[in-house]
Structure 1
């Protein structure tokens, strides 16, 4: 049984890993904007996955980590196909059809689907604080999405593609969670990324053709996507997921829209309106609620129980007076 200090340390490490993931995934939106202007959805996904798989493979070799155990492979394969493969392609495609705000709003259905699937398939349950936090964050994400949406810029196809991306993302995370019981986060991420890259090989011709014409900045952004938001962020995600529930990890990603607003403000000089800023703060508040714990009342409860259960002390019998 873990001591309270050890449990607290594990929680802090998982929270730190989740924070790294969220920041890097938010930065990916800025890079995708640049790379997506020169690369088609499938080519961008393949280039990103190849760069990520190469970096992860080298780290695995240096650390001496081999293949994941046999029991981990079903989850690795499913998450590789759904999350690393399908999700990246359809999200890149969807963002060519709708504006960033609409895409963020639709993709944020993913954590809700994830929590429901995890509660059903992984028996994680649906704690009230998690549901309340997700509801608050989803409301914030909706405010951010609607405030950033341009009139008439969304297409039905684009919305459907983003919705498919959200479902693929949720299914991939739920499949990955059991694999982490058998394989290390690095193993599960490395081979999931490699499987996603293999699934995207039909786009190899497009990648080679477009790489010759793409500006250097677009190619560098594609490589950045592979090394940091993919190789590093997916590994820190797996590390955190192995130490908490899929529902809580999904709720944490609601902080991404708020960070995207801030990064766009700083990197692209896109000053957000007050409504967008408020929506971002609501997203962060919902994450805080979903990851909070009920106030500890164990000591009080134990004391009350002990008092109620203790029999009344009877006075010791006194010797009879002669």
Structure 2
């Protein structure tokens, strides 16, 4: 495999692994969330993730992140690893899964807007079109999974806050990855998130003593795989593309959640849910596609055509 092919395929593979593991988290949270309160679950997940990441960081001897990266790491640690996980857990206890998925999927749109405004991310038509298709799919999945009753205003507000924290955390992390490695940014971001959640330590200790083993194992799984591994592969891919494009990739999560719930929990999705999942995946494919002519020119080393003003 050529170097150019590796540079394209490795970030794409890292993004795909991230999406699969984040989708699996929704299934694991169902078991853990029945025994653990939102703050305790977030702290337990972050502690497990920080331990796994700390061991890998020590083995690889990567050292502390450079000073230039700390601002972004701290912001992403507090907002994304800490605030996002707590309020999302809380919000999902107040509203049904469909409403939560629908509101949280505002996140990639916010990432695109913030990335364009603060990071100068380009907004090519294919990316915008793909995000529109995926968002339509997320809306379809959300509506098809929503219960018949009214949603809690508090729950919707919490899910919206989670989406804002997620978007701000991603945009804050992107500049940090210009100076720090993916492992450094993830390890210390997770550790900062765990420190921010320490007020829930008493709840975690009490609930862990009463929780069934399956719930605790699911919490550990959330920490090791969807947090430690998936956030690292996310940071690796994010360092090699724009925040807007990575945000659009996460629209594949609702489709994978539907599939995993079908396989693992026996929840047979309806036709509307399946149609929404297909739209989500189609939108991601469009948003990550490139114009063939441009790809060939870049691969061949030809100069890009200059705009005439």
TM-score, normalised via structure 1 length: 0.91
2:79 and 2:24 mapped to 1: Cα distance? 22
Query: Among 153, 172, 177, which residue is 2:174 paired with?
Result: 177
Aligned pairs for 1:193-212 within 5 A? 193-212=190-209
Residue in 2 that maps onto 1:18: 15
Query: Among 222, 242, 245, which residue is 2:242 paired with?
Result: 245
Q: Residue 144 of structure 1 contacts residue 280 of structure 1 at CA under 8 Å; is this kept in 2?
A: yes
2:25 and 2:214 mapped to 1: Cα distance? 14
Residue in 2 that maps onto 1:279: 276
Residue in 2 that maps onto 1:317: none
Q: Residue 67 of structure 1 contacts residue 187 of structure 1 at CA under 8 Å; is this kept in 2?
A: yes
Residue in 2 that maps onto 1:235: 232
Residue in 1 that maps onto 2:78: 81
Aligned pairs for 1:1-322 within 5 A? 5-296=2-293
CA offsets, 1:156-202, max 9 Å, x none? 11011000000100000000000000000000000000000000000
Shift, 1:7, TM fit? 3.5
RMSD of the TM alignment (CA)? 1.4
Point out the structure with max Rg over C-alpha: 1
2:150 and 2:23 mapped to 1: Cα distance? 22
CA offsets, 1:198-234, max 9 Å, x none? 0000000000010011000000000000000000000
Count of residues paired in the alignment = 298
CA offsets, 1:103-125, max 9 Å, x none? 01100000000000000100012
2:155 and 2:4 mapped to 1: Cα distance? 43
Stretches of structure 2 lacking an aligned partner (at least 5 in a row):
none
CA offsets, 1:264-311, max 9 Å, x none? 000000000011001100000000000000121676xx8xx9xxxxxx
Q: Residue 11 of structure 1 contacts residue 243 of structure 1 at CA under 8 Å; is this kept in 2?
A: no
Q: Residue 75 of structure 1 contacts residue 177 of structure 1 at CA under 8 Å; is this kept in 2?
A: yes
Shift, 1:153, TM fit? 4.9
1:268 and 1:55 mapped to 2: Cα distance? 28
Q: Residue 93 of structure 1 contacts residue 161 of structure 1 at CA under 8 Å; is this kept in 2?
A: yes
